Amino acid sequence: MIRTAQKKMAAYYAVAIFFVVIDRFLKVLSLNYFAGREIDVIGDLIKFTFTKNYYIALSLPVTGLILLITISILIFGLLFYSIVLFKRGQVDMAGLFSVVSFCAISNFYDRVRYGFVIDYLDLKWFTVFNVADATIVLAILLILFNTYRPLKLTI
């Protein structure tokens, strides 16, 4: 059981690292090469657009030191909670919380380094976001789904 659980967590870490690496690559690309330009990805439905996001989710106007401290506490809390869940044998939930944490760290790095989060995917009629944001939303949806209907993921 423990071997299987460790392999499953390693797979979740690999998935998280994969999306964080893609996110970091696209952020560097947008910051250094595409700032000030829009590139159509899928017609005018999805565009690659460098955007500085000074706020938090859904552009809620929270900034500054309070935001950094709050995000730090949340990330460490999520990581700690994922360890607790793993120890309880809830590997899928622990893995999903780890994915959220890793992607949140990618955005947190931007806030500390640049003072804003780099967003680059402009979805027409919605908002500009990044791969880390999309991965966090997907993982949270899976967490919610798993809360009410336990997952049987085979990774």
Tens of pLDDT along 58-78? 566 666 777 788 888 889 999
Above 60 in pLDDT, residue 154? Answer: no
Active site residue 92: no
Distance CA 121, CA 105 (A): 19
Distance CA 34, CA 95 (A): 34
Q: Give the best-scoring range by mean pLDDT among 15-24, 30-39, 48-57, 78-87.
A: 15-24
- Average pLDDT rounded to a whole number, residues 108-129: 89
Active site residue 110: no
Q: 123: part of which helix (H) or strand (E)? A: strand 117-123
Q: Are 95 and 83 in contact (CB under 8 A)?
A: no
Helix (H, G, I), strand (E, B) or coil at 108: helix
Above 60 in pLDDT, residue 136? Answer: yes
Global pTM?
0.85
When pLDDT is cut at 50, 70 and 90, the band that residue 153 belongs to is: low
State both tokens at 38. Answer: 């829009």
Neighbouring residues of 34: CB distance < 8 A, sequence distance ≥ 6: 48, 49, 50, 120
Phi, psi of 46, rounded to the nearest 5 degrees: -130, 125
Phi, psi of 53, rounded to the nearest 5 degrees: -110, 105
Distance CA 63, CA 113 (A): 14
What is the DSSP code (8-state) at residue 125?
Answer: T
Q: What residue segments make up the domains of the chain, in order of their start? A: 2-148
List 23, 110, 122, 133, catalytic entry: 133
List 23, 92, 110, 119, catalytic entry: 119
